[in-house]
């Protein structure tokens, strides 16, 4: 492999077995194939990058880029001076812009990282690709269904690299967990349950009233699609990854239950996605109670995969003997009614299921409470893969398609809630990648 590949990416590929083959992993996550390839360009030239959007997430990317030796930040852009100043202090050699269109005229920029409010994602992505730049954009793909289709079609018609920060696709425990599901560990997948709970109002301090919508953009439909695109986007991608297909029907209910402060987006959502074979994704999110945190569960006939924690549970757990389980119950003085002819000593309680890790060693678990990032969640790996792609020009398989699918599902979920009716997946937004 080329020296352009940094140590973080090397370690990631090695852990997954991709440096010595890894056919099973590549079948599970085909987008990783491009990480194995060597850049077409030789030498030590770095990918010259620009950051558009210098807020908290943008500054997080700047911190990550410090550890990627094949990347060089050469330009920064933000129309909010405090953010631009903070980012410039981190990269004092970078040129600064307040208009992203002026930045795109800079011929020395190879790729741009877009970390702006959602309402700007599509226009900036389209303009950047038209200017010949490779693009790394935060999720979700776009604010509207029409914009999603426009971006997807522009990508297909061009030759630029386009990444979206769907970091679970580059999270080792998710990759290995999906691989085990594909190999039949938990039996046939019969359903999926995901939730993401926080207890915060999503608000930031506003120095002057006229800046309210600009600073607290997540609360207003002009810029944001709320909980679905901010949180559910990641989780719906994982469910489709596990199911290997798309849902056909969507129903849901959304409300502003607690934060009645003038916001326009829901603070509580419940959405059900139904596949053609009857399997369902049950999705719930609210931001006025954090007790249940975040979970991405794939339910199988023979077990359950908890991808958030990187563990699985078996319905009939032959990895632990019945006698061992009985002795543990006696030791802890916890008993339950067990049928005499039952197939297992385990009581029918979730707490008695034994968690088995999908990976050896310590696993970083995201509790879902951070508004900016979580440690070792795949964000650094996908960013590094993009930097390498800026040098090689190689597009990662399925990344854009997966981002399109999950974003469209989020937006259809919002439509189902707003119109209070069942939505059947519209023909107009189907793409060849989709299976139903």
On whether both 347 and 383 belong to a single domain, the answer is no
Q: Work out the percent of the chain whose per-residue pLDDT is above 90.
A: 78
Comparing CA positions, the residue from 396, 391, 4 lying closest to residue 169 is 396
* Residue pair 92/103 in contact by the 8 Å Cβ criterion: no
On whether both 150 and 198 belong to a single domain, the answer is no
On whether both 210 and 229 belong to a single domain, the answer is yes
- Kindly state whether residue 434 falls inside one of the protein's structural domains: no
pLDDT of residue 317 exceeding 70, the answer is yes
Q: What is the DSSP string of 378-433?
A: SHHHHHHHHHHHHHH-PPPTTHHHHHHHHHHHHHHHHHHHHHTS-EEPPGGG--TT
Residues 6+ away with beta carbon under 8 Å from 42: none
Domain range spanning residue 233? 185-371+406-429
On whether both 206 and 161 belong to a single domain, the answer is no
On whether both 195 and 69 belong to a single domain, the answer is no
Strands (E), 104-262: 111-114, 134-137, 162-164, 189-197, 249-255
On whether both 145 and 71 belong to a single domain, the answer is yes
CATH, residue 15: 3.40.50.720
The whole-number pLDDT of residue 335 equals: 44
On whether both 51 and 162 belong to a single domain, the answer is yes
Between 341 and 84, the higher pLDDT residue: 84
Region 299-321: mean pLDDT is 90
- Kindly state whether residue 174 falls inside one of the protein's structural domains: no
- Kindly state whether residue 344 falls inside one of the protein's structural domains: yes
On whether both 159 and 37 belong to a single domain, the answer is yes
- CB atoms under 10 Å from CB of 294, counted, come to 22
The whole-number pLDDT of residue 327 equals: 45
On whether both 133 and 232 belong to a single domain, the answer is no
Structural domain count of the chain? 2
SS3 103: helix
On whether both 48 and 160 belong to a single domain, the answer is yes
Between 153 and 365, the higher pLDDT residue: 153
Exposed e or buried b per residue across 150-162, where buried means at least 16 C-beta atoms within 10 angstroms of its C-beta: bbbebbeeeebbb
On whether both 164 and 231 belong to a single domain, the answer is no
- Kindly state whether residue 1 falls inside one of the protein's structural domains: no
pTM (two decimals): 0.90
The whole-number pLDDT of residue 320 equals: 60
The whole-number pLDDT of residue 19 equals: 63
Average pLDDT, the chain: 90
pLDDT of residue 229 exceeding 60, the answer is yes
Tokens (6 digits) for 433: 């990648």
Q: pLDDT tens for residues 233-276?
A: 999 999 999 999 999 999 999 999 999 999 999 999 999 999 99
- Kindly state whether residue 191 falls inside one of the protein's structural domains: yes
What φ, ψ does residue 183 adopt, rounded to 5°? -85, 0
pLDDT of residue 165 exceeding 90, the answer is yes
- Kindly state whether residue 24 falls inside one of the protein's structural domains: yes
On whether both 349 and 202 belong to a single domain, the answer is yes
């Amino acid at each position: 492999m080329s020296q352009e590949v940094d140590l973080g990416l090397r370690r990631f590929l090695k852990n997954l077995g991709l440096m010595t083959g890894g056919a099973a992993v590549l079948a599970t996550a085909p987008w990783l194939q491009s990480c194995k390839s060597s850049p077409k360009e030789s030498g030590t030239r770095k990918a010259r990058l620009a950051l558009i959007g210098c807020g908290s997430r943008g500054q997080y990317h700047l911190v990550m880029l410090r550890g990627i030796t094949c990347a060089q930040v050469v330009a920064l852009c933000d129309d909010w001076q405090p953010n631009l100043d903070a980012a410039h202090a981190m990269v004092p050699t970078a040129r600064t812009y307040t208009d992203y269109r002026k930045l795109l005229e800079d011929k020395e920029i190879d790729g741009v990282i877009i970390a702006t409010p959602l309402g700007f994602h599509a226009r900036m992505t389209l303009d950047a690709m038209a200017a010949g730049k490779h693009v790394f954009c935060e999720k979700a793909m776009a604010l509207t269904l029409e914009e999603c289709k426009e971006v997807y079609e522009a990508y297909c018609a061009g030759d630029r690299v386009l990444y979206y920060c769907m970091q679970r696709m580059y999270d080792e425990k998710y990759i290995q967990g999906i691989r085990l599901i594909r190999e039949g560990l938990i039996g046939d997948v019969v359903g999926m349950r995901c939730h993401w709970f926080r207890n915060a109002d999503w608000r930031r301090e506003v120095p002057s009233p006229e800046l309210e919508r600009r600073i607290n953009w997540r609360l207003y439909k002009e810029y944001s699609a709320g909980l679905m695109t901010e949180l559910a986007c990641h989780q719906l991608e994982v469910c489709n990854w596990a199911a290997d297909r798309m849902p056909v029907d969507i129903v849901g209910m959304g409300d502003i239950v607690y934060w009645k402060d003038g916001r326009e987006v829901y603070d509580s959502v419940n959405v059900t996605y139904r596949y053609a074979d009857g399997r369902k994704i049950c999705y719930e999110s609210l931001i006025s109670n954090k007790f249940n945190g975040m979970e991405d569960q794939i339910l199988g006939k023979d077990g359950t995969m908890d991808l958030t924690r990187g563990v699985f549970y078996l319905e009939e757990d032959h990895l632990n003997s019945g006698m061992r389980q009985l002795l543990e119950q006696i030791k802890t003085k916890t008993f339950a009614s067990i049928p005499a002819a039952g197939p297992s000593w385990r009581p029918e309680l979730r707490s008695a299921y034994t968690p088995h890790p999908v990976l050896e060693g310590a696993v970083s678990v995201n509790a879902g409470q951070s508004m900016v990032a979580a440690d070792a969640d795949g964000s650094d790996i996908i960013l590094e893969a993009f930097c390498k792609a800026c040098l090689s020009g190689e597009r990662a398989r399925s990344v854009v398609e997966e981002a399109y699918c999950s974003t469209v599902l989020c937006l259809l979920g919002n439509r189902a809630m707003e119109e209070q009716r069942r939505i059947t997946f519209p023909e107009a937004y189907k793409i060849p990648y989709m299976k139903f």
